[in-house]
Amino acid sequence: MSMITANRFGEVFSQRPEKGHELHDFSPATGYVGKKSVTVKVEGKDEVVEIDPELGPLVWTQDGSRCFSYLTTCDPCCYGAGGFRQDKNWLHMTSTEQTVQVHLVAKMNKRRRDLFALG
Q: Assess if residue 52 is contained within a domain.
A: yes
Total domain count for the chain?
A: 1
Residue 67 in any domain: the answer is yes
Domain annotation covers residue 17:
no
Query: So what's the pLDDT on residue 1?
Result: 46
- pTM of the prediction? 0.67
Task: Return d(Cα 5, Cα 13) in angstroms, integer.
Answer: 5
**pLDDT tens digits, 68-101:** 776 665 555 555 555 555 677 888 888 998 999 9
pLDDT, position 91: 87
* Residues of the chain with confidence (pLDDT) below 50: 1-2, 119
Q: To the nearest whole percent, how much of the chain has pLDDT over 90?
A: 36
Residue 61: which domain range? 31-118
Q: Is residue 14 part of a domain?
A: no
- The neighbour count for residue 53, using CB atoms within 10 Å, is 12
pLDDT at site 66: 84
71, part of any domain: yes
Residue 72 lies in a domain: yes
Q: What is the pLDDT of residue 21?
A: 60
In sequence order, the 6+-apart residues with CB closer than 8 A to the CB of 112 are 60, 61, 62
Determine, yes or no, domain membership for 21.
no
pLDDT of residue 105: 93
Note the pLDDT of residue 119.
Answer: 44
Question: 94 Cβ partners below 8 Å, 6+ apart?
Answer: 4, 12, 29
Domain contains 13:
no
Q: What is the reported pLDDT for 36?
A: 96
